[in-house]
Structure formats: structure tokens, C-alpha cells
Amino acid sequence: MSIVTIKDVAAKAGVSPKTVSRVINGEAYVRPEVRELVQKVVAELDYRPNAFARSLSSSRSYLLGLFIDDPVSGYATDVQHGALIGCRQRSYHLVVEPVDLTAPDWESQVRGSIAALRLDGAIVAPPICDEAALMAVFAESGLPTVLVAPSSAPPASGTVRMDDRRAAQEMTEYLLGLGHRRIGFVQGPISHSASARREEGFRKAMAAAGVTVDEDCIVRGDFSSRTGMELGERLLALPERPTAIFASNDDMALGVLITAMKHGISVPERLSVCGFDDAPSSRAAWPQVTTVRQPKAEMAAAAVDILVNPQFRQKAGDEHAHLMLPHELILRGSTGPA
Amino acid sequence: MSIVTIKDVAAKAGVSPKTVSRVINGEAYVRPEVRELVQKVVAELDYRPNAFARSLSSSRSYLLGLFIDDPVSGYATDVQHGALIGCRQRSYHLVVEPVDLTAPDWESQVRGSIAALRLDGAIVAPPICDEAALMAVFAESGLPTVLVAPSSAPPASGTVRMDDRRAAQEMTEYLLGLGHRRIGFVQGPISHSASARREEGFRKAMAAAGVTVDEDCIVRGDFSSRTGMELGERLLALPERPTAIFASNDDMALGVLITAMKHGISVPERLSVCGFDDAPSSRAAWPQVTTVRQPKAEMAAAAVDILVNPQFRQKAGDEHAHLMLPHELILRGSTGPA
DNA sequence: CTGAAAGCGCTTACAG
DNA sequence: CTGAAAGCGCTTACAG
């Protein structure tokens, strides 16, 4: 497969390389008939502009970096998928860069990716988007950066999030509406800022309903199904057993569900269980778990839009884009009347 | 952050850019003291070679493409993780390219990635590594390509696989050793070539043990927990119920497990269940599911090695690398004596 | 509306 | 062991 360059196209179309460049990049000021001719030749020759040459001369790489803590998690997978879709639509490519903040050379790694690849933008996923040291590296580099579900609104180019607090509140209101009063809550890990927001929502709804939260009913997990099982044991062994358990994510909800099964406590008849995420585990279970759909892929796609959109790029630096995407309560079989 | 170029380093070190280039690329023929000096300046200036300039002049991109059907699956995630680790070790970067063979323009998309990014190599995951039309595109492009777990050994630069057949055989032997004779088998989808290999292994072990396979006990799923549940219903409703069910992957095994629970059939006392993959779902369940550990990340990392290793690269074209990586039976609580 | 010149930051091929 | 020259394939800045 001989490689077709812009010169080949120019020669065959009888124009200058610059004109081909104009057509390729959709610039104005090309006579319609010339444009059409060039487009025809491009198609005939199946010409693909060399991304490196383009990047070198334009100092744009058409490359976005996705910086992520644990690329193996289900969360990461969904975020990446959304980012990939967004990139493809806009002819960008995505480079996934795992960031291990416990590695001694993490900073050099990150700097290296930014500098060597001349990234056009970065998307940073939770929980590392809440790490000050990492964010400082991005800030210093001047790279447009969008944070996914960060705790606050740090000085990044943009943020994309959902309302974790409100969603947890709605879920709690739903449980209260079902008649539950004694509700167990499994907190997520402190390292994820969403954990605190979800707990706030839970407490807010309980307070609004005038229900006192028994602190014995609040336990902290690490988002794994294993801690869900362990903490489920603890909650179900309480002298006065909760009639519902709200776990801060689906994996932990699944753990609670399994524990209930082990003890022969039928769900939802004797215990309601709900989670957060709409992860595959919430659907793999039986009964399927009531949860909150988190628009992970949509958030990532929106992050790409923010980074790539020329309007945004122009004003980057002086203006920031902050998006809040809608969530959805997914009611399934694991919850029922108290 | 002003950008440091090779000229800056050369000027500061008092040598030519070419000498800096030699040091950066670890070439021979540089006086030790000059090498050290240059390295010192590189470190001082935190110089990062521009990957695009390097690619443009050397016609190597230091970029590997991972072509994958469904980037959201757990399989994809593990493969990608292994590839990422491999790339990082060798200062390569990974570009993930989803391939949707049902999209009308898939071929153009794939060609575009190869041509525009000037990839140095491609890793193709199952099941698309078994698609002749796709493999033809790679073959035509001349791009070094390594296939992960393909059905046969097509004319690619290399393949990396595990012995699905042997693993399924060992699992079946384990069940037979436990005293099971009537064993249900949930096949995987035909689109995945591993499905057939796993079934072969199952049948081979059964035949070797002189046990006749009742074809009513063989049912086909699609690797989802939902079909696992449905087919579990079917197998457990059989006039003569199997004492063990071997599902071709963990998600389906989980579905079978859930169905057994629904019907109050205790596992492993009255039914043994096992899967394949060592997926998160096998550990999230209770009891945890006996399964086969598939070295997914290791296979991907090996694929990177094959593509990047200079020795291999030299002889690419006339010689192929075919690796078989070891699997492992993971015995857990879901299986027991008949 | 179009093109000739120069340059992006490296490496290749060559000379010494 | 080291460097000067040329070029990779585009785009920028400029001229017309």
C-alpha cells in the first residue's frame, strides 16, 4: 500500500498543496468547483492526511488524553467508552493514560505524556481529579483539562458532573415513601468525593422527613462487593434490623443482597436493597437491584465536546464550562414496601 | 511552560542536535563523557522529544492500536489493561479503536486509523480477530498485527492465546473426579471461536471418562447472565436434573447460580456450578464461582512485546510469533462432591 | 480565491 | 566518534 501524500493529491488535481489543505480542513475561500475536484481526487486516492505532519506544523495533535486511576474498573470502562465515541465523532483520537499516584515517578509519567504527545486536551476521571498534586501538574502545563465528577470546581478548563447529592436524596425519599424508616446506609470510601455527596443526600432526605438517623446504621465500605457482604452482616445483625439498606454503589449493594440471601432474608419482602451506578452487577443480581443511573459515558462525551469545541477553545483560560448532566432512578425488584 | 527542543539541549551541551538524538535513542558511538553531559542537560531542561517530529522523520509512530469489538466488556478492559502496561514499559502509547462491524463505514474507519496515525502495530481482540474481512484490511496494510485468542493461526504477524480446549477439559475432569456424571454444559455464542474450543474440551473429557453426553444437557447462551438464568431454568427443569452445570463463561455461571437460588436448590450441596474467565462476577457471587483463570492481561502484554521487540520486528513478514500462555483452574465454593 | 516560501522538530543518509 | 545537509508531510504567514 503506497502512501498517498498531499502532493500526490495536489498533482493529480492540478492545484497547489495549500489548496488541498484548505479543502481537507474545510476552510473557506476555495472555489466550489475546485473544492469538488479536490474532494473527488481525495476519495479516489483514499488520501489520509498524516496526523504527525499535521500536528508538527499546526501544533495541534488531535489527541486527547484520558487520565484514569484504575483503567480496569467498570466506571473507567464506561467513561472511556463515552470519550471514545466523542472523539470519533470529531476525528480525534483518544490516548488512555493510567495514573498510579503511588508510583514514585507518576509526575514524570504524566508530564511525559503531555509533553511528548502534545495533547490537545485532557480528561481526568475520579477519584484522581480530586488530587491537588495532579491537578497542579495539569494547571502548570497549560493544557485544557476537563474534570469528570470532581468534588468542587477547581481551576480547570471545565467540569462535567451529575448531582450525586440530589440523586441520593431522591432514592432515600423513594425508600421513605415505601414506608421505610430504619434505613441502613453503606458509605463509599473517603477517597471518592462522591461518597460524601451521596451521604449528604441521604441525610438530607431523612432529616426532611423528620426521621432520626441511627449512627449504628451508617457503615463505611470501599465500593467492593466484599465489603458489601461484610457490612451487610453487620447491619443485619443489629438488634433492631433495618428494613432497607441503601449502598453507595451497586457492587456493595450486591454484597448486601448476597448476605441477605445467605441468611434467608428474602428481598424485597423482608429487606429492601438499593445501590448507585446502574453497574452490570445491579442487573446480574436477582432480584435486580434498584439503583441510580449515572450518565458516565455522557459525561465523558461532554468532556470531549468541551475540549474540542472551537468556541470553547478560543475562550479557554478566561472562561470555564461547567456541565451538570441528568441522572435517573432505576426502580427494580430489590425494593418494596416496608 | 516553554517547550524545550533538541536544539536547546544541543546548544546548552555544546554539541550538535544529531548527537543529542544519538543519546536520546541509546545509539552507540557517543563518547561516554559526551553522553553523560547530554543526559545531564536533558534532565535539567526536562526535555521531552516531540513524538510527532520523531514519527514524521523516522516513520515510526511509537503508537500501537488496540482494535476491539466492545470496549465496554470486562474482557476488553482486562486486555486493554495488559496492553497499557506493556506499552508503558516500552515507551509506547496505546490508541484504542472500537470496531463496529455492523457500521457501514467500518472499513474506512479502520483504514483511517492505520493510515492517519501511522500505527507501528495492531492488536486485535476476539471475536473480531476471527473476521476475515477485517483481517484482510490489516494484511493489505502491511501493518504488523497480533491476534489475541483467534480461532486458527491466520497469516498475521503473531498470535497470543491460551488453551481453551485443554482448560475446559481439565475443568470437566475435575467435575468428573468429584463424582458428577450428569453434567449440564452451557455453550457460548458461535461468534466467539473460544466457545467451540471449550465445548470440545468438555466433550473430550466426558468421552475419555466413558460418560455419554445427553444432548438435552447442552444448551447455547450468549455469554450474558440473562441467558445463564434462562438456560439454568431449562437445565434445572429437566426430568433428570444435572448434578453439575459447566457454563462457558462466568456471567452465565452467575445466571445459573441465581436461578438455582430462586428455586431453593443449594449450591454446591445439590448442584455444582462452574464458569470460565475468572471475571469479577465469579467473585461477587456467593458462593464464589469455580472458574478458569484466563491470562487476558498477560496475553495483551505479550502481544505488545511481539510488536515492539526489535528482534521480532526485523524478521516480521517471514516469521511469526505464536505464544500459548498458561491458564489456571480456580477452585471455589460453587463446586462440590456429587 | 490561490500559491510559493519557510518552517514545525526531529531522523536518515552521508561525509569526515 | 561527530556533524552539516536534506527531508519527513503537512500548515502558517504572507503575497498577490
| CATH classification code of A61-163+296-327 | 3.40.50.2300
Determine whether the interchain pair A286/B262 forms a contact, defined as Cβ–Cβ distance below 8 Å.
yes
d(CA A326, CA B151): 43
Predicted confidence at residue B319, as pLDDT, reads 54
Tell me the sheet residues that pair with A146: A123, A158
- Residue of chain B minimizing CA distance to A4: B115
Angle at alpha carbon of residue B167, lines to B165 and B169, rounded to 5°: 70
Residue at grid coordinates 445467605: A262
> B205 vs chain A: nearest CA distance in angstroms?
30
Q: Are B195 and B127 in contact (CB under 8 A)?
A: no
> Counting beta carbons within 10 angstroms of the beta carbon of residue B310, is it exposed (0 to 12), middle (13 to 18) or buried (19 or more)?
exposed
The confidence band for A316, taking pLDDT boundaries of 50, 70 and 90, is: very low
Residue B330 corresponds to which cell in the numbers above?
480456580
Task: Count the alpha carbons within 13 Å of B198 in the hemisphere toward its beta carbon.
Answer: 26
> Counting beta carbons within 10 angstroms of the beta carbon of residue A7, is it exposed (0 to 12), middle (13 to 18) or buried (19 or more)?
exposed
Q: What are phi and psi of B154, to 5 degrees?
A: -75, 170
Angle at alpha carbon of residue B210, lines to B293 and B192, rounded to 5°: 35
Predicted confidence at residue B164, as pLDDT, reads 97
Q: What are phi and psi of B256, to 5 degrees?
A: -60, -45
Correct CATH for A6-49 of 3.20.10.10, 1.20.1250.20, 1.10.3720.10, 1.10.260.40: 1.10.260.40
Predicted confidence at residue B310, as pLDDT, reads 59
d(CA A276, CA A170): 12
Long-range contacts of range A90-94, CB-CB < 8 Å, 24 or more positions apart?
A90/A304, A90/A308, A91/A62, A92/A62, A92/A63, A92/A64, A92/A120, A92/A304, A92/A308, A93/A51, A93/A62, A93/A63, A93/A64, A93/B95, A93/B113, A93/B117, A94/A63, A94/A64, A94/A65, A94/A66, A94/B95, A94/B96
pLDDT averages per 10-residue partition of chain B, 338 residues: 83 91 86 89 89 86 89 86 87 86 90 84 92 91 90 80 97 98 97 95 98 97 93 97 97 93 92 95 88 96 85 52 93 96
pLDDT in tens, B133-152: 999 999 888 888 999 999 87
Preceding peptide of B268 cis, ω within 30°: yes
Query: B60-163+296-326, which class in CATH?
Result: alpha beta
Residue at grid coordinates 501544533: A59
- Residue of chain A minimizing CA distance to B114: A48
Q: Which residues of A47-67 are buried (b: 16+ CB within 10 A; e: fewer)?
A: bbbbbbbbbbeeeebbbbbbb
Number of neighbours of residue B163 by Cβ within 10 angstroms: 15
Q: What are phi and psi of A304, to 5 degrees?
A: -60, -45
Q: What are phi and psi of A335, to 5 degrees?
A: -125, 145
Residue B192 corresponds to which cell in the numbers above?
466467539
Predicted confidence at residue B73, as pLDDT, reads 82
Average pLDDT, whole number, for chain A? Answer: 90
Interface with A, mutate which of B58, B60, B96, B296 (most A CBs under 10 A):
B96
Mean pLDDT to the nearest integer, A10-25: 90
Sheet-wide strand order for B244-247: B218-220, B183-187, B244-247, B272-274
d(CA A228, CA A241): 16
CATH superfamily assigned to domain A164-294: Response regulator (3.40.50.2300)
Determine whether the interchain pair B140/A112 forms a contact, defined as Cβ–Cβ distance below 8 Å.
no
Determine whether the interchain pair A284/B112 forms a contact, defined as Cβ–Cβ distance below 8 Å.
no
d(CA B50, CA B9): 13
Predicted confidence at residue A317, as pLDDT, reads 47
Q: How far does Cα B297 stand from its chain's mean position?
A: 6
Question: Do the domains spanning B6-49 and B60-163+296-326 agree at the CATH topology level?
Answer: no
* Nearest one of B198, B186, B222 to B70, comparing CA atoms: B222
Chain A environment of B25 (Cβ under 8 Å): none
d(CA A149, CA A162): 7
A150: helix, strand or coil: coil
Q: Does B78 touch chain A (CB under 8 A)?
A: yes
Interface with A, mutate which of B42, B45, B48, B298 (most A CBs under 10 A):
B48
Tell me the sheet residues that pair with A290: A274
Q: Which member of B71, B109, B251 has the closest CB to residue A80?
A: B71
Architecture of domain B164-293: 3-Layer(aba) Sandwich (3.40)
Determine whether the interchain pair A72/B78 forms a contact, defined as Cβ–Cβ distance below 8 Å.
yes
Q: For chain B, where are the alpha helices, taking DSSP H only?
A: 6-13, 17-24, 32-45, 51-58, 74-89, 106-117, 132-141, 164-177, 193-208, 225-236, 250-262, 280-284, 296-308, 310-315
Domain ranges of chain A: 6-49, 61-163+296-327, 164-294
d(CA A26, CA A19): 11
- The amino acid at residue A4 is V
A50: helix, strand or coil: coil
Residue B78 corresponds to which cell in the numbers above?
482486562
pLDDT in tens, A121-159: 999 998 899 999 999 999 888 888 999 999 876 777 789
- What is B186-254 written as a DSSP string? EE--TTSHHHHHHHHHHHHHHHHTTPPPPGGGEEE--SSHHHHHHHHHHHHTSSS--SEEEESSHHHHH
pLDDT in tens, A157-171: 789 999 999 999 999
Residue at grid coordinates 554539541: B15
Mean pLDDT to the nearest integer, A200-227: 96
Chain A environment of B140 (Cβ under 8 Å): 1
Predicted confidence at residue B314, as pLDDT, reads 47
Highest mean pLDDT among A81-95, A145-159, A211-225, B4-18: A211-225
A68: helix, strand or coil: strand
> What is the count of residue pairs from A and B with beta carbons less than 8 Å apart?
125
d(CA A114, CA B217): 55
Predicted confidence at residue A268, as pLDDT, reads 96
Q: Does B334 touch chain A (CB under 8 A)?
A: no
- Residue of chain B minimizing CA distance to A285: B258
- What is A152-192 written as a DSSP string? S--SSSEEEEE-HHHHHHHHHHHHHHTT--SEEEEE--TTS
pLDDT in tens, A99-123: 999 999 899 889 888 887 888 899 9
Number of neighbours of residue B7 by Cβ within 10 angstroms: 11
The confidence band for A252, taking pLDDT boundaries of 50, 70 and 90, is: very high
Q: What are phi and psi of B204, to 5 degrees?
A: -65, -45
Where do the DSSP E strands lie in A191-327?
218-220, 244-247, 272-274, 291-293, 321-325
* Nearest one of B198, B182, B156 to B312, comparing CA atoms: B156
Q: Which member of A52, A93, A141 has the closest CB to residue B95?
A: A93
A226 vs A213, higher pLDDT: A213
